[in-house]
Amino acid sequence: MNKWMSKIPDDKKIVLINIPGSHDSAAYCMNRILSCFSQTQYFDITQQLEIGVRKIDLRITSIETKRETNEDIICCHGICDCYVAEDLCDQRKLTYKSILNDVRKFLEKNPSETILVSTFLGRGSHQNIARSYEIFNQEVGDISIAYHPDLILGECRGKIIISTFLDNEIQIGKKNNRILKSRSKSLIKGTDIEEIHKSYKGEKVCSYEVDGNMKVNQMKDMFNKYNMTLEEARIKEIEKPDMFPIGYSISCTGENESILPYPIVQANIVNSFISNNGVFKKGYYYGWINMDFVIVDITSRLVESNFK
């Protein structure tokens, strides 16, 4: 799965490619006591990319360390920090910088591919997002490209497509939000992938979202409702270029309400449903699917759906 994008023509729009993504991508090595609540992946970033994942979702916070090393921003999942898997004894925390460098190394070895990176605030000061922009630009800015709806694969092979998420005005206040958005625009220009998706909730063409309250039978209905061939999706995109949505899904959901909604329990229900029901079919459009505990079977099926 290292080079699956090499089989896709250069002129194919990114928005029309079915892309496997991972949700809370860096949460694969967590505090052992709280791992049942905070772990969301089996594989580290490099392993995820090798099995076909092309969209990663990073939650960040800051720690007291030397800013000049670019190691002051680390990955987290809520209140829990992420750790370096190979160094559990020393409990070294997983830095945003190290994840970006893993992505760079993968692209250097696989220049036909492109990887989408979304950065969210995990906890702490909202200025951490602005700081993450600075680190991003210093570490991988030279191979980055801002997302826009008309982006084609040929423009971004061997590059990182950056997407950032800014918390809404209710959480951080209108004044701070304006300041943060202004600062971010001066560093990285582009359209926020998740913001684009949200803007299509009023009139969906073939987009869908799975949230934490959706049941398996509802998810089945959702797939049936928005199922369309890649050719139909292409026609829809031509007809309504300003309204064409991005498929976005999170697999941490369940069959019914749970007293202990551990990510692994919920993901097993959804992932089993997808695997056992042959949800992803060749030649059909599904968009970008973010998965908890991404597995090879589902990733390969979604990749293969790009080809008839």
Tokens of 145: 């490209």
Q: How far is Cα 287 from Cα 293, in angstroms, rounded to an integer? A: 19
Q: Digits of tens for pLDDT over the chain (308 positions)?
A: 899 999 999 999 887 888 999 989 999 998 877 788 889 999 999 999 999 999 998 999 999 888 889 999 999 998 899 998 765 566 789 999 999 999 999 999 999 999 999 888 888 887 888 888 889 889 998 998 877 767 899 999 999 988 644 333 333 344 444 444 444 443 333 333 344 334 433 333 333 444 444 555 666 666 666 566 777 777 766 676 554 444 444 444 444 444 455 778 777 777 777 788 777 888 887 777 888 889 999 899 999 999 98
> What is the pLDDT at residue 245?
43
Cβ neighbourhood burial of 181 (10 Å; 0-12, 13-18, 19+): middle
How much is the CA Rg of the chain, to the nearest whole Å?
19
DSSP 8-state assignment for residue 14: G
Distance separating alpha carbons of residues 51 and 84, to the nearest angstrom: 20
**Cβ(41)–Cβ(27) under 8 Å?**
yes
Question: Which two tokens mark 15?
Answer: 């928005």
Q: Hey, how many other C-beta atoms are within 10 angstroms of the C-beta on 115?
A: 26
- Quick check: pTM over 0.75? yes
**Domains of the chain, residue spans:** 4-304
Contact between 128 and 62 under an 8 Å Cβ cutoff? The reply is: yes
> For residues 187 and 184, what is the distance between their CA atoms, to the nearest angstrom?
5
Give the angle 1-272-39 at the CA atoms, nearest 5°. 75
- Residue 268 has a pLDDT of 77
* Nearest-angstrom CA–CA distance, 173 and 170: 6
Q: Which residue is it, tokens 């097993």?
A: 268
CATH architecture assigned to 4-304: Alpha-Beta Barrel (3.20)
pLDDT value, residue 231: 76
Residue 60 vs residues 100, 171, 241, 246: alpha-carbon distances, Å: 12, 17, 33, 24
In this prediction, residue 20 carries a pLDDT of 92
Cα(307)–Cα(223) distance, rounded to whole angstroms? 19
Q: Is the dihedral of CA 262, 61, 165, 86 positive or negative?
A: negative
C-beta neighbour count of 291 within 10 angstroms: 28
- Per-residue pLDDT at 68: 87
